[in-house]
Structure 1
Amino acid sequence: MPGISVVVCVYTEDRWADILAAVASVRAQSRPALETLLVVDHNPVLRERLGREYEDDPSVRVVANAGPRGLSAGRNTGIAEARGEVVAFLDDDAVAGPGWLRHFAEAYGDPRVMAVGGRTEPAWASGRRPAWFPEEFDWVVGCTYRGLPPGRVRVRNVLGGNASFRRTAFDAAGGFATGIGRDGGRRPLGCEETELCIRLTRALPGAVLLIDDRAVVRHRVPAARERFGYFRTRTYAEGLSKALVARSVGADKGLESERRYAARVLPAGVARGLGDAVRGRPGGAGRAGAIVAGALVTAAGYLAGTVRARRGGGRFVIPPSPVAAAKGDGPSGKGAA
């Protein structure tokens, strides 16, 4: 069983209670973590407060993001600092089930496995899923969506808030690209883990990437993200991010899973919603409408991102291996897209 370092990227004191809950869930694992790394994104006040909170716990280390502001650079900092053979990532507003790391570790018994993700369930602030919110779009709130296969299955990419990688994967592919994904800006961008996973399987054609739905985390969904306005903003941002990924790795690979999702999962969801509406079940028509709207807005974001990229906008940087960089022997990063 490999030693696993858990990286939790944090950035705001507004999530103080969430951060403590995330760390507590790692402490409660049936298969203990080697260490927990709290990577603080350019917030000295929060870093000092966390340092005081965990000063008597040698299993928790608090470090500052050594790169530019944003989630990708924070994760790269965590990778460079980690001592485990495997590096797992948990969102700062999520709590892991007690068997989370055990299921990850079991999958790495196969030396071909380079990444393992799990199932992320929404914890709605209102206590229940909004009637209009389709499960096919749970990725909007950082959760596992309807359409992913059950069990332990091979996938193109894992989802970043509930994922793990062998450290050697970063030696082969480099780190998370900066300039893509969350950076504290107004738009909730994403897809940095998708781009990395595609890059990884290109660097290591025999690599196996898995999702094991027994490795469960619960992700808090605040009230603001239960509203259609956030749904619209997030789907548009996803389209922008997909355009960056497609430009980096090619549309064939960058949109491979998305084409199946759009062709099979979404039409089935619309039919299901309309069927519920006919039967008088609450929210059926709203879910069908949200699926159509989400697909159209995501496509609009993708088109806008493609135009922007062709005009020279939307650049991001693929960094060298954070592991190699920590040792002082990594090459310089390469520009992309």
Structure 2
Amino acid sequence: MFSLIVCSVDRTDHLARLFRSLATQDFTHFEVILVDQNEDDRLVPLVSAHQDRFAIRHIRSPRGLSRARNTGIASASQPLIAFPDDDCWYRPDTLTLASAIFEADPALGIATGRTLDADGLPSVSPTGQEACAITRRNYLSCGNSNGIFLRRSLIETLGGFDERLGVGASTPFQSGEEADLLLRAIASGATLGYHPHLIVHHDQVVAANNPRRIERAAKYGAGFGALLRKHGFSPGHLAYRLLRPLAGMVLALARGDLAEARYKRAWAYGIWRGWTGWRRLGSKS
């Protein structure tokens, strides 16, 4: 019932962890579509080691996360699709729970869950502990791409991911592709639900001592600013999103925390750059 689209570049150990978790799934009706963006054959031994444990299709794609996911969607054969990151991992019951959610609600187009680290703490984006419908007001707190499960018919209707957004895109907008998908689904009239008992694991990604933290903030902020512009959020909403990191910058400066101040400034600068850059790009809906 599931096509699991795994896009991978520059990783083997983490991908092996994901594959080990898939081999222990209670629910076994799934295929893995491994979209390989490496320029060498480093993943071939890993595929060979697991292809007798579950179905794997190993295909290639140029770099760019949204482009790779669209390549995987085009190859998907099952009615439900998910996008596990190559450095996340599933619980043994993850697919069992996802299947039950869709079986219980035939009208449901997208189900999202929580992403937690090995200690059970939110690791990629803050998520609540109460189930809810996903709307334009709460989409940011209702999961991220590795916790999105959806019907293939819906994503084909939506046209897949916007390849101008996301890590590896040819634009400055290096995030926002999954939120864009959720917002387009909401605009289409689809039913989306957040289910906190549906859990995917992922390590913490923004450690305070990460030397690339500021660079990442600027790139991801640009994707967020572009997302706000693309989906017609108001200038007042933009101002609110800018004031939050700017206020954090001021507080960090008051504490003498220059690294945190630079991080908050990078977020604000990125959001503004994305908002103005998307306008110049001339977006399509």
For normalisation by structure 1, the TM-score amounts to: 0.68
Query: How far does residue 84 in structure 1 lie from its aligned partner after superposition?
Result: 1.4
Distance 1:252 1:149, change over 3 A: farther
1:154 and 2:117 are equivalent in the alignment: no
Structure 1 residues 226 and 16: alpha-carbon distance in aligned structure 2, compared to 1, 3 A threshold: farther
User: What amino acid sits opposite 1:63 in the alignment?
Assistant: I
- Equivalent-residue separation in structure 2 for 1:4 and 1:17 (angstroms): 24
Distance in 2 (CA, whole Å) between partners of 1:336 and 1:92 is: 30
C-alpha contact (below 8 Å) 2:173/2:223 kept by paired residues: no
Q: CA deviation at 1:51?
A: 4.3
Of 174, 180, 190, the residue aligned with 2:165 is: 180
Between the aligned partners of 1:251 and 1:92, the Cα distance in structure 2 is: 32
For residue 211 of structure 1, report the CA deviation from its aligned partner.
2.2
Give yes or no for the alignment of 1:73 onto 2:52.
no
- 2:77 corresponds in structure 1 to 83
1:300 paired with 2:282, answer: no
Which residue does 1:9 correspond to in 2?
A: 7
- After the TM superposition, list the runs of 4 or more consecutive aligned residues in structure 1 that deviate by more than 6 angstroms: 184-188, 260-263
Match of 2:112 in 1: 117
Tell me the residue number matched to 1:143. 124
The one-letter code matched in structure 1 to 2:90 is A
> Shift of residue 93 of structure 1?
0.7
User: 1:87 Cα deviation (Å)?
Assistant: 0.3
C-alpha spacing 1:86/1:32, structure 2 compared with 1 (3 Å): same
**Judging changes above 3 Å, is the alpha-carbon distance between structure 1 residues 260 and 241 closer, same or farther for their aligned structure 2 residues?**
closer
Partner of 1:20: 16
Could you say what the CA RMSD is over the residues aligned between the two structures, in angstroms? 3.7
1:116 offset after TM fit, Å? Answer: 1.3
Q: Structure 1 261/102 Cα, relative in aligned 2: closer, same or farther at 3 Å? A: farther
CA distance in 2: counterparts of 1:235 and 1:228, whole angstroms: 11
Counterpart code for 1:307: T
**SS at structure 1 position matched to 2:96:** helix
Identity %: 23
Note closer, same or farther for the CA distance 1:57–1:184 as it changes in structure 2 (3 Å cut): farther
Quote the offset at 1:33 in angstroms. 3.7
Question: Quick one: which amino acid aligns to residue 28 of structure 1?
Answer: T
Determine if the alignment matches structure 1 residue 336 to structure 2 residue 284.
yes
Q: Distance in 2 between matches of 1:59 and 1:308?
A: 42
What letter corresponds to residue 6 of structure 1 in structure 2? L
- Cα contact 1:100–1:217 (8 A) shared by 2: yes
In 1, Cα distance between equivalents of 2:162 and 2:43: 24
Alpha-carbon offset, residue 9 of structure 1 = 1.0
TM-score (norm 2): 0.79
Deviation, 1:36, is 1.6
Q: 1:192, CA displacement in angstroms?
A: 0.2
